[in-house]
Amino acid sequence: MPSLTAKQIDGHTYYYARYCQRVDGKPKIVRQVYLGKIEDLVASTEQAHIPPQPLETQVASCGDIAALWDIAERLDLVPLLDSLFPKRHQGLSCGQYLLLAALNRAVAPTSKVHLADWYRRTILTSLLPVDPALLSSQNFWNHMDLITSDQILQFERQMTERLIQRFQLDLRALVYDGTNFFTYINTRTPSQLPQRGHNKQKRGDLRQVNLGLLVSTDFHIPLFHRVYAGNVHDSVEFRSITEDLATHYRDLVQSCDHITLIFDKGNNSAEAFQTLTDTPFHFVGSLVPTQHPDLLAVPRRRFRALSTPRLEGVEVYRTEKKVFGETRTVLITFNQNLLDGQLQGLTASLNKARRKLRDLQQQLSRWRQGKVKGKAPALEPVRKQVQAICSGQFVKTILKAEVCAVRKGLELTYSTNQAALERLSRVQLGKTILFTDNADWLDEDIVLAYRSQYHIENAFRQMKNPHFLGWSPMYHWTDSKIQVHAFYCVLALLLTSLLQRELARQGEELSVCRILEELGGIQETLIVYPRRQGQRQHTTATCLTRMSPLQSRLFSLLDLKRYAPQSP
């Protein structure tokens, strides 16, 4: 037990704590601690009751990273990737690099140049400790350049089996579709994948890359993807993709003996259906209405209303027709809500076209009156301009515009074909033509299956979100790097979709963006306190930021306390 001892030095009293023990039977001072003057003792006692003021704090992303990391752990994602992709002699493994890239895409899309900076601001520094220098763009691509498309396909096959075994994924209905992503790759850059084509984001002036994706209707879990040139039509690429899907089916048939493939009319081709005919895949698709006027001519009085609450307001007419060389079950559907929406969109398009025609008409009138100086417009360019104005869907059949030469210039006249508009509304608008080889399915089952395409539409919408799961920014121009970029973007979609599925099964039905936003608000905070007298290092404490009620529920449902910080 220590004793308090005072010493007089130069007229001042100093206090020491002395520890005495018997050594060889005699008392001996074995330790002596300097305590200071009496004023120092009083000040130290008073400061002990005052909370220390923090010197600085350091915040790291926690909730979103921990939740997605946990999904990857349950999938044994990194070991599976490492078993298929080669490893260089330095740096992380390919699986670890790909997991980091997928996590980054999911929560904070950035370039590989800034990957290390993002890594430092997350709890990955403790989950996957690594020298940030190894996360340079050069190190990353030194590993990724070794990956081939065949290895990616093999990974997707094995991952599908793992999803069935560990997450009991439902594969009875799968949805396929394609989309494209515009790039800023220079026209003269020698790449095959980026090409100019019809861009769904209205950026036809830029080179684009196409992505075909197969997802489950069970929370749009991606099972298969293909990157192809931006100038290739979806239906052309779907011919070769069906061959891969046919091969893929042999792996899936062991877990599900009836798989229905669902796709939109943009993928239709005789060759693709011939390939599907030779596989056990069933399908539900749609037909281009204008190519089947006999089906559109079926009067509404022959339709029947569906009784399923989810299909309220939907009427159908069922028949059979030979399509792409085979007799199929055909279902013509009418939806009043669809009709109202199409009429609203058509009205907006017509009004926009009329405004442009009116402006052009007034401009030509000013030329004829001599109010505009310069070279007068030529007939053929103006006709092409009018054609472009009226090129919208259905607009050119309803608006009739004509440009003719008159004595003092050009004159534009236009009118609305009201009879054509009424016929369009009566015969075509509001209708969708579905067809399938599932002849034993009920009408309701066919319609609901086709409507499940919203799953893949949601997936594409999320991949075009600039904040979460973003395909952009993509700072790559070689075909091999673009393929790897697409791969870890699809991996990010896989992890986030499984996370959404897990929460929904526990009663929290939220969008992926809402989940990532809420979990992203759960952060780890490191608090650093100033050194006190006698301390060699700063005192630190670690805790989580204050959570909202929803964040607390998500934290509990996902059991993220396992990743909660532990103060040293």
Q: Domain ranges for the chain, please list them.
A: 2-47, 339-427
The 10s digit of each residue's pLDDT in 33-60 is 777 788 777 777 766 666 667 777 788 8
| pLDDT at residue 559, as a whole number | 92
d(CA 155, CA 345): 43
The 10s digit of each residue's pLDDT in 296-337 is 999 999 999 998 888 888 999 999 999 988 899 999 999 999
* Partners of 320 in beta bridges: 329
Cβ-Cβ contacts under 8 Å for 304 (sequence gap 6 or more): 315, 316, 317
Q: How far is CA 406 from CA 48, 91, 258, 400, in A?
A: 98, 76, 68, 19
Say what the pTM is.
0.81
* Partners of 317 in beta bridges: 332
564 burial (CB, 10 Å; 0-12 / 13-18 / 19+) is middle
Cβ-Cβ contacts under 8 Å for 184 (sequence gap 6 or more): 206
pLDDT in tens, the chain (568 residues): 678 888 888 888 888 888 888 777 787 877 887 777 887 777 777 666 666 677 777 888 999 999 999 999 999 999 999 999 877 666 788 999 999 999 999 999 988 889 999 999 999 999 999 988 899 888 888 888 888 888 998 899 899 889 988 998 888 888 888 888 888 888 888 888 888 888 777 787 888 888 888 888 888 899 888 888 888 887 777 777 777 777 766 666 666 667 888 888 888 888 788 777 777 788 899 999 989 999 999 999 999 999 888 888 899 999 999 998 889 999 999 999 999 999 999 999 999 999 999 999 999 888 888 887 777 788 899 999 999 999 888 898 899 999 998 878 888 999 999 999 999 999 999 999 999 999 999 999 999 999 888 888 888 888 887 788 888 778 878 888 989 999 999 999 999 999 999 999 999 999 999 999 999 999 988 888 777 655 667 777 788 889 999 999 999 999 999 888 764 4
